[in-house]
Copies of this chain bind each other. A is one copy, B any other.
Amino acid sequence: MSNLDQARVASRSTETTRAALIKAATSVFAEYGYDGGSVRLITQRAMANQAAVNYHFGGKDGLYREVLIAATKTLEQSSFLCPEELDARSPEEALRLYLRQFLLPLVKRDRVSMYLRIFAWESVRPSEAFNAFIVASPPRIFQLAERVVKRFLPEEAPAETVTFATLWLAHQPMFFVRDAERLARAPFALKFDESSLERLVDTLASFSLRGLGNP
């Protein structure tokens, strides 16, 4: 009887718990971010014991890393966000598609939206676990904003300008996704449904493309 056999034998119950924890962690981290999401809430939602996180993943960090791995894997397989899709379109359409995809979490609650929410949290103040992760395996979606921006900037644009522009663009949808809950309350009262999402995409695309001065 090898370790492999043992692992296979025990894998059913183990995998059940692991999967439940990852699923619960995904929703909790999407809602509250890494620092704000507590192990107690995650294990509660997964109907597992608190110690299970440490037993199966070595700690909160390890569980988060699993979520990030699943996120990058899913997002890389999602055709909506693949770089080739962007390159096949005109710069204007690419920009609009980019904004629209990253704003979708405002009205959707599916898995991809939760992953995008997690990235939106990390765009504010990245956790150390996240930094360690993107150094090890940088998610492809982080190149997307730069890719879109480069379609507009001249070839000879300095790297600093590209960085400014990339950060500038990437954080426009991130802000709305991350703070949707707060913006829904006073004094903003922005409730997002399909139609207001479209208007937001229109507005951001217009500003990003032509600026405030050219409506």
Name the segment of A43-51, A69-77, A111-119, A167-175 touching the other chain. A167-175
- A205, chain B: closest CB distance, angstroms: 9
Which residues in B have their C-beta under 8 angstroms from that of A211?
Answer: 206-211, 214
Q: Which residue of B lies closest to A33 (CB)?
A: B125
Contact of A168 among B152, B204, B214 (CB under 8 A): B204
CB of A5 within 8 A of chain B?
A: no
**Interface stretch of the complex, out of A14-22, A57-65, A156-164:** A156-164
Contact A208 B199 (CB under 8 A): no
Chain A interface residues (CB < 8 Å from chain B)? 91-92, 95, 124-126, 149, 152-154, 160-161, 163-165, 167-169, 171-172, 175-176, 179, 182-183, 188, 190, 196, 199-200, 203-204, 206-215
